[in-house]
């Protein structure tokens, strides 16, 4: 089982939404990549994080 649960969808304007869920008792480091771009994030324990990309 993955330590991070994720869901994503595309809005009508073309932007992409990514929702990350960390149910763990500890912070987790993750790398998010969409197309050619990427970013490193630290998800605090017991958090939901939402990322919205610019419309393409």
CB-CB neighbours of 14 under 10 Å: 10
2-18 pLDDT tens trace: 799 999 999 999 999 99
- Predicted model pTM: 0.87
- Please tell me the distance from the alpha carbon of residue 2 to that of residue 22, in angstroms, as a whole number: 10
The answer to whether the beta carbons of residues 45 and 25 sit under 8 Å apart is yes
pLDDT of residue 47: 98
The length of the chain, given as a count of residues: 56
């Amino acid at each position: 089982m993955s330590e991070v649960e994720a869901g994503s969808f595309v809005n009508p304007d073309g932007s992409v939404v990514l929702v990350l869920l960390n149910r763990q008792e500890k912070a987790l480091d993750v790398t998010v990549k969409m197309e050619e771009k990427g970013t490193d994030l630290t998800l605090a324990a017991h958090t939901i994080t939402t990322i919205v990309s610019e419309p393409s």
